[in-house]
Amino acid sequence: MSPTTIHLRSETKPLERRSPLSPASAKALVEAGFLLRVERCRNRTYGDDEFEAIGAEMVPAGSWADAPREHIILGLKELSEDDSSLPHTHIHFQHCFKNQEGWAASLSRFVRGGGMLYDLEFLTGEDGRRIAAFGYWAGYAGAAIALIAWAHQLLHPGTAQGRVPRFDSALALADHVKSIIEASIDTNGGQHPRIIIIGALGRCGKGALDFCLGVGIPRECILEWDMEETSRGGPFPEVVASDIFINCVYLGPTRIPPFVTFDSLTTPERRLRVICDVSCDPNSENNPIPVYSSYSSFDSPTVPISRKLDGPELRVVAIDHLPTLVAREASDEFSRLLLPSLLTLNRRESEGVWVRAEHTFAEKVRELPGGCSSF
């Protein structure tokens, strides 16, 4: 029986630097008897030479499309949008299992090609919890960009915010933000920003809190909210009374009463200048921040809300791959968490995490318009 082959593809999403597989995890797979093919990629946080050193076969970027059908294609972000059929087994975030915009067309590509999607967001253990996530680093990076956006409004009012710089480490990012926060506090009459974090008890919220504390925001300037504080239902005046609102609540199938609305933003007492929606699903009917409708990017890190308001400028950070700002640290942790399951791919027909993921795929396929009797 030939060994299982994993093909790590290069990422095509602009400015994406993360990898679901680190050289350390790649080495563990090779030592366990897997064949590993790694596409060359200049933007990946790990160098090609790091994968070569552990015995991976290096192949050209984009070669996954012509790989033998039995090879398992491992990636991070969703595939580029086209109408081609997909015959391989894929492992990546496709963002189509929660009925996001375009979900049916995206999922149909796998069905037509006879392929399979193990969506990384839906790989779960027996307890139903995700086996690997970027939540901590999403919150960490989101807080950083929110503070940068707040400082920009104070230091450069009325001007467009430029692209977010590239950082080689989380420490370099923190040092940069700390320096501009110190300058902004002087402009703000010596006051630190008031920050509210909703979802503060989760991994994402913890990342946001750790970053804020790490760059010198006093804890008394931070409201740490979770289910207990939001149980009464929004919108919440405490959000509007803060300078920065960081939403770290994971969007599930249940609709959440909105945390903020256009009406709640019209109060003359509004201080709110920056919303960072780490959950970042503006087109979802369950989005608890229904005041914006488009994504931002590292090149253009904020978008305006959907209506004009009196008072301070209000911008939204809505970047759907925040952890790539701290790509190496985020990839190291995610890869470490994912590795135990990757090591069972050679028996995925019976191994729990992959069986559950296949059932999830089949359930979503049956929801496609017209249904599907293949699963």
Cβ pair 76, 92 in contact under 8 A: yes
Query: Collapsing DSSP states into helix, strand and coil, what is residue 109?
Result: helix
Cβ pair 27, 50 in contact under 8 A: no
Query: Collapsing DSSP states into helix, strand and coil, what is residue 284?
Result: coil
Residue 124 is assigned to a ligand binding site: no
Instruction: From 349, 348, 339, select the one nearest 131 (Cα to Cα).
Output: 339
Query: Collapsing DSSP states into helix, strand and coil, what is residue 203?
Result: helix
> Is residue 359 annotated as part of the catalytic site, yes or no?
no
Residue 36 is assigned to a ligand binding site: no
Residue 322 is assigned to a ligand binding site: yes
Residue 319 is assigned to a ligand binding site: yes
Give the total residue count for the chain. Answer: 375
What does the alpha-carbon distance between residue 95 and residue 284 come to, in Å, rounded to a whole number?
11
Instruction: From 122, 69, 115, select the one nearest 93 (Cα to Cα).
Output: 122
Residue 158 is assigned to a ligand binding site: no
Residue 250 is assigned to a ligand binding site: yes
> Is residue 95 annotated as part of the catalytic site, yes or no?
yes
The secondary structure of 257-272 as a DSSP string is --S--HHHHT-TT---
Residue 278 is assigned to a ligand binding site: yes
What does the alpha-carbon distance between residue 44 and residue 59 come to, in Å, rounded to a whole number?
14
Residue 219 is assigned to a ligand binding site: no
Kindly give, in sequence order, each residue whose CB lies less than 8 Å from that of residue 60, ignoring residues fewer than 6 positions away. Answer: 39, 40
Label residue 263 exposed, middle or buried (CB < 10 Å: 0-12, 13-18, 19+).
exposed
Residue 321 is assigned to a ligand binding site: yes
Kindly give, in sequence order, each residue whose CB lies less than 8 Å from that of residue 281, ignoring residues fewer than 6 positions away. Answer: 98, 100, 251, 287
Kindly give, in sequence order, each residue whose CB lies less than 8 Å from that of residue 340, ignoring residues fewer than 6 positions away. Answer: 131
Residue 320 is assigned to a ligand binding site: yes
Catalytic residue, chosen from 7, 13, 77, 152, is 77
Cβ pair 59, 375 in contact under 8 A: no
User: In which region does residue 82 sit, left (phi positive, over 0), alpha (psi from -120 to 50) or beta (all else)?
Assistant: beta
Catalytic residue, chosen from 27, 71, 95, 98, is 95
Residue 345 per-residue DSSP state: G
Residue 176 is assigned to a ligand binding site: no
Binding residues for NAD(+): 129, 202-203, 226, 230, 250, 278, 319-322
Q: List, by residue number, the catalytic residues.
A: 77, 95
Binding residues: 129, 202-203, 226, 230, 250, 278, 319-322
